[in-house]
Structure 1
């Protein structure tokens, strides 16, 4: 009996250790389940646009400038301040007595200068137009902000997702290295040391791609933070979903227009740009500038008209020293300047104002042509990118995946080369990277088209 007692104790000890191990695993699993993972906060395109518009100092400055021009328009409608004068006239120097001489009097006068022609009316209209210009400039600024923030945000998203593709490429190469190293150490097939070195070389070249991608990511992140007035928090990251067009969130820039992406593309394709872009804020600003110059021309023409001033005064005289009564005096007068002697200077001022207005009209036409030509280029680019996107999604991705599987199968059966396997895997990731570039460039093109068409669409929607 004593021979079986020892194994019995050993078995009991093992069971005890096993129970302790299970208990420890249960405790660890419970602890791991109780720990909540820290989720990084992502910054969507819609959030980035809202923050940029909310913190833009130029928009706030335009609001103050608009208030200023409205106040100046009201102030310019009034006449100049009347002038009041008071004087003691003809006071004798031998006695300085106010009742000594009959010419001595205390005189109070009032003078009112009138505007030159309709100068005040044109000045008021000018400032009202300048106030409207601030509103249009704010619209142009918002559209410009949306485009610039979208482009910067897309650069950030591209760099972030490219790092994900590099991680995938690194995982494939690491698995291939382990597989090749195992075959070489076991002497299986035709695996050679140069196969291992070739995979390691591919991994080393991958490090340089990482450096470039992280540099692009950090630069885009820093460029994006300038729109918010402060650096982005370290916990904020770019969206990392795998879908392409929906993940890029191009629809966010269409929110204010109540247009879907398909409806927006229909508007872009159906409307002739040279006509609709005349109402773009950039062109409208030049049109408003022409209106301002027209008011300046009207003001210059009013300078050829005479300026009138009316005055009235009352002179008080004290009674004489012997008690004789002295009558008081009332004076009325009119003043008018004679601008006819400076006709050459006035004609030159009018000609300068007219030339400036004509130059603004020319700038407006040049701006419309520039915007329309840019729209045509973007439409052509979008069409080509859409075709390339369809080609990659329907053919290239599937073909490269089949090629990668075929090369790996051939190498496993000793009928293929390790270089072909590496190149096939790299080609598969490269195609995905190219597709990501196409999606990002397509989104950038849509953002630029939205900058051109959405403000004009809003203009016609408001008119309806």
Structure 2
């Protein structure tokens, strides 16, 4: 009955895992089927790209196999060496080789069992368990790194595609401007000259060359993004119309400045890359304990049974039983054992130092990215409130002045170039802010990712409360910019 129930439970678990696996593959298959329709361009959002990359990353499968291997190692480590069985025919006389000639001749059967040195077997098992427990942390660190890497490649592709949109719009504006100038030149109205038409045509050719370069950059960016997941070459992807910064990093840029630095360090300390070093420190601690166990004596126990034949005169001879204990004395290996202990202690110190350095490095990066984000947000506010509008007004004023013989055509072209440059700069600034937010999302991964097993819920609630209070106090908009 027990075996039957166990088989049912195992079958149920297997079926549940199979259903989960096929559901994931089905979702991926549906998505790839949708995007493989060559007749329609499919919008590939940042979340979709990250989801595809996470589902197709083979690292996670290898990590799970590595974890299973360490678990098997832990089962194998906590065991004794095999006993040794010996069979000896001893004290046989050489003058007749008769087994009953001399009373000391016997057939001896012995068994010997060596014991682990101290608690080395248990410690070795603990080391294997700690190594197995590192794998989920490695997967979390890989996930955080992969989300950031995909975000950077996707944002580069987004910027390249949006550059194409702006340049195509500018090309269309130049076509309209050319038609207007040609019409004015044919009608003889104003001071339009033939060189003005030539200059527009030359600028249009330069813009077409720039478009070809940007198309190449967009193709390269998409190819760079495609290294994270597989799709057919016939798939046509497009970027979404807008880029929401809040989807990348849900917190306000200043939220880390509103809480105590100790809380920020606690979040950094829960980062997978730091926790991985914590696991390394635990393994190094156990290895130090294992090195100390090697200084203890190693015991072995043995027992033997000696069988003797009856004497030649028919007298019965008693059999023998032997029991013994063996222990090795570390007389000549003490120097080596002490050196191993010292080396293990030094490696423990190295891992502890690396963990502190990693916390300091990530905290410094977070501080730098926040300072960078403040500067970028100020620039974006300048573009949104004044620079773009004034550049557009300048382009319109220059064209109106030229059409009324109050301006030069060179002024018109300079104003248009300034306007398109301002729009391209505004787009680059928007993407730079998104990249900085992606960096912050990586640095504050325990707060921004619900699937992270290392999430500190208490700190997350504290950050959310502070964030909401900051929004209420300063009336922060959804994209993190303060209302004027």
TM-score, normalised to structure 1, is: 0.84
Q: Does 1:409 align with 2:404?
A: no
Corresponding residue of 1:284: 275
The 1:124–1:170 alpha-carbon spacing in structure 2 relative to 1, beyond 3 Å, is same
Distance 2:129 2:237 in 1: 45
The 3 A distance-change label for structure 1 pair 202 and 337 is same
The aligned counterpart of 2:139 is 138
Q: In 2 relative to 1, CA 264–61 (structure 1 residues): closer, same or farther, beyond 3 Å?
A: farther
How far residue 343 of structure 1 moved from its aligned partner, in angstroms, is 2.3
Q: Distance in 2 between matches of 1:163 and 1:43?
A: 17
Aligned-residue offset at 1:333:
0.8
Could you say if the C-alpha distance between residues 463 and 311 of structure 1 is closer, same or farther in structure 2, counting changes exceeding 3 Å? farther
Residue aligned with 1:339, SS: coil
Listed one character per residue, the Cα deviations across residues 208-254 of structure 1 (whole Å, up to 9, x for unaligned) are 322331232122112111111x355332313141x3x33xx661x56
Q: Which runs of 5+ in 2 are unaligned?
A: 1-36, 460-484
Change (3 A) 1:234 1:143: same
CA distance in 2, matches of 1:84, 1:57: 47
Could you tell me whether the CA contact under 8 Å between 1:198 and 1:419 is conserved in 2?
no
Q: Report the Cα distance in structure 1 between the residues aligned to 2:197 and 2:273, rounded to whole angstroms.
A: 60
Q: Once the two structures are superposed, what CA deviation does each residue of 1:413-442 show, in whole Å capped at 9, x if it has no partner?
A: 222222222222232222221111111111
Two-structure CA RMSD over aligned residues (Å) = 2.4
Equivalent residue, structure 2, for 1:461: 456
Answer yes or no: is 1:352 the counterpart of 2:343. Answer: yes
Change beyond 3 A, Cα 1:383–1:321: same
Q: Which moved more, 1:268-277 or 1:363-372?
A: 268-277
Change (3 A) 1:313 1:462: farther
- From 294, 303, 308, the equivalent of 1:312 is 303
Deviations 1:55-96 (A, max 9, x none): 212221111111112221222122222112223333445555
Equivalent residue, structure 2, for 1:12 = none
Cross-structure match for 1:333: 324
Superposed displacement of residue 344, structure 1 = 2.3
Distance 1:346-1:463 versus aligned 2 partners, 3 A rule:
farther
Please, what TM-score do these two structures have when normalized by structure 2? Answer: 0.80
2:148 maps to 1:159: no
Q: What is the Cα deviation at residue 183 of structure 1?
A: 1.9
Give, in whole Å, the separation in 2 of the partners of 1:120 and 1:264: 51
The number of residues matched between the two structures is: 417
Tell me how far apart the structure 2 counterparts of residues 378 and 75 of structure 1 sit (CA, whole Å): 47
Query: CA separation in 2, counterparts of 1:380 and 1:72?
Result: 47
Asked if structure 2 preserves the Cα contact closer than 8 Å seen for 1:116 and 1:307, the reply is: yes
Partner of 2:467: none
Distance 1:89 1:275 in 2: 71
Q: SS of 1:330's equivalent?
A: strand
**Do the aligned residues in 2 keep the contact of 1:49 with 1:146 (CA within 8 Å)?**
yes
Q: Do the aligned residues in 2 keep the contact of 1:43 with 1:236 (CA within 8 Å)?
A: no
Tell me by how many angstroms 1:322 deviates.
4.2
- Which structure has the larger Rg? 1
In 2, Cα distance between the equivalents of 1:135 and 1:146?
16
1:129-208 superposed matches below 5 A: 129-208=130-209
SS state of the match for residue 323, structure 2? strand
SS in 2 for 1:309: strand
Look up the SS of the partner of 2:202 in the other structure: helix
Q: CA deviation at 1:275?
A: 4.1
> Residue 367 and residue 262 in structure 1: after superposition, are their counterparts in 2 closer, same or farther (change >3 A)?
closer
SS of the residue 1:87 aligns to: strand
Partner of 1:103: 104
Is 1:238 paired with 2:238? yes
2:420 paired with 1:429: yes
Bigger mean CA offset, 264-273 vs 55-64: 264-273
2:362 aligns with: 371
